[in-house]
Amino acid sequence: MSGTTYYRMGSEDIEQETVIRWARLSSSAWPELSLLHHIPNGGSRNMKEAVKLKRMGVLPGVPDLFLPVASAGYNGLYIEMKYGDGRLSQSQKDFMKQAAHFNYFCAVCYSSADAVALLQNYVDNKKAFKYENLSILKGSKRIGTVK
């Protein structure tokens, strides 16, 4: 199979993997990025595993990525990755609004570039942060707010 190149279709998973890869490579410049992690809340599971995870504390609606670092007056940063025409579920909206109430910054990013820009601004600007909480970011622009 040498000489054959395989391309994966664009997806939320690929965008998120790109963000994590960037964070790992950038953690020498921003050590706090080494704490960025994925919360494996979604995905398909058999019923037995789903029941077990629920008993263990899995919550519906928890965003994909979490940076447990205080910055710019926030306690930490949650990022929900979406791709294409992906929309938030009601449980995702509810979780993000509640987290924002408790002073966590929450955003929805439709690309790895949007998430990287958000993360850079979050870790660079300890006092002033250019984004509005509960922002929905797509194509380097704020296109809405989680309602």
In order, the DSSP letters of 9-33 are: PP-HHHHHHHHHHHHHHHTTTSGGG
**Whether pTM exceeds 0.75:** yes
- Mean pLDDT of successive 10-residue stretches along the chain, which has 147 residues: 45 92 96 94 74 83 95 93 90 94 94 93 77 77 78
Q: Where are the domains of the chain?
A: 12-145
Q: Which helix H or strand E contains 106, and what residues bound it?
A: strand 105-109
What contacts 24+ positions apart, CB below 8 Å, involve 54-61?
A: 59/95, 60/89, 60/91, 60/95, 61/89, 61/90, 61/91, 61/92, 61/93, 61/94, 61/95, 61/96
Cα(147)–Cα(141) distance, integer angstroms: 18
* CATH among 3.40.1350.10, 3.40.50.720, 3.40.190.10, 3.40.50.10320 for 12-145: 3.40.1350.10
Cα(80)–Cα(117) distance, integer angstroms: 14
* 29-38 tens-digit pLDDT: 999 999 999 9
**pLDDT over 90 for what percent of the chain?**
55
* 54-71 tens-digit pLDDT: 888 888 899 999 999 999
